[in-house]
Amino acid sequence: EAGVAQSPRYKIIEKRQSVAFWCNPISGHATLYWYQQILGQGPKLLIQFQNNGVVDDSQLPKDRFSAERLKGVDSTLKIQPAKLEDSAVYLCASSPPTGGTDTQYFGPGTRLTVL
């Protein structure tokens, strides 16, 4: 079974520029998550989708971050404008639609460097 796909793998931008990341979850997984992982720390949840609806975006900096999952499959995460402190790895994960506590499977991440 194919895993979670993410692109690009690396991105370098100047502060105040915009950037977008793409995620394709494991086939059939209804729940999709975006995490931010700052170097030396554990992943922190930014937003969680169930199909195309938002379940939890309480830790998403909504003044600059946005995410969508229009057709309930692929998802994009956008940062506009980027700040230096946004430098991190952005991880996408998915879990199956069985409800309750389900194992989350992670993609390889996109490493963002903001200069």
Partner 1 sequence: GESVGLHLPTLSVQEGDNSIINCAYSNSASDYFIWYKQESGKGPQFIIDIRSNMDKRQGQRVTVLLNKTVKHLSLQIAATQPGDSAVYFCAENYGGATNKLIFGTGTLLAVQP
The answer to whether residue 112 forms part of the interface with partner 1 (CB under 8 A) is: no
**Which residues within the stretch 43-82 sit at the binding site for partner 1 (CB under 8 A)?**
43-45, 48, 55-56
DSSP 58: T
Side chain identity at residue 11, one-letter code? K
Whole-number minimum distance, CB 81 to partner 1, in Å? Answer: 25
**Residue entry with tokens 């980027």:** 82
Q: Rounded CA gap, 100 and 102, in Å?
A: 6
* Residues near partner 1, by CB under 8 A: 4, 31, 37, 39-45, 48, 55-56, 91, 93, 95, 99-109
